[in-house]
Structures are given as C-alpha cells and as structure tokens.
Amino acid sequence: MANDLPMLSDELNASLDDKAFALCQPLCDKSMADGQITAFFDARGLACPMPLLKAKVALRTVADSKSLYLIATDKNSQTDLVAFCQKQGLQVQSWADDVYHFIITK
C-alpha cells in the first residue's frame, strides 16, 4: 500500500460498520491531512457492473479534490473502475488484499 494514501474524515469514520472500519483502518494511520476521503461505499458482494454503477452515483456527492473510498469483492471491478477513472480523468489508487480497494479522487 502506498505511503501517501489520504485519511478518512472523522464523520466518515463514524459512519462505518465494524467490518468496513477494519478494512479502512490502514488509511486512518497515514499522515496526510484529515478529510481527503469524504465518501465511502461498500460494494462487497455486488457483481459487476454494480460496483462501477454505485461508484458513479457516490461520486456525485464528492467535491473536487476530494475522494471516494470504495471496496469490492468482484475481481472485474478492478478493470472496470480503473478504466472508468482513466476515461473520466479521475485519479485512482487501487490495491487488493482480502478485497479490492479503490480511492477515486475528483
């Protein structure tokens, strides 16, 4: 995982369930300014193309220079989300462990 990943805002931390919070915890330990990630979507268990469609909807609430953090379990979501971000001119950081993680910045 990159050392420059943004942190979750306090409000976003408060909204996560325990399982999702455990997956997001590494982001909370990073040293960037608080509040970079302002939206979170848990797409675990959703089949392709739902993670992409849910990301599109969630990005409507994200301000410029802010990020959406999305987790998914469908392996095709990585290809779909990265291609979408490249096409839309959005920055995306992705990695995988037990799930696929995406930080999409407007």
Q: Is 48 a catalytic residue?
A: yes
Other beta carbons within 10 Å of 56: 14
Taking the C-alpha atoms of residue 17 and residue 3, their distance in angstroms, rounded to an integer, is 25
Catalytic residue selected from 24, 28, 48, 85: 48
Please, which residues have CB within 8 angstroms of residue 56's CB and are 6 or more apart in sequence? Answer: 84
Type of residue found at 82: V
Give the active site residues: 48
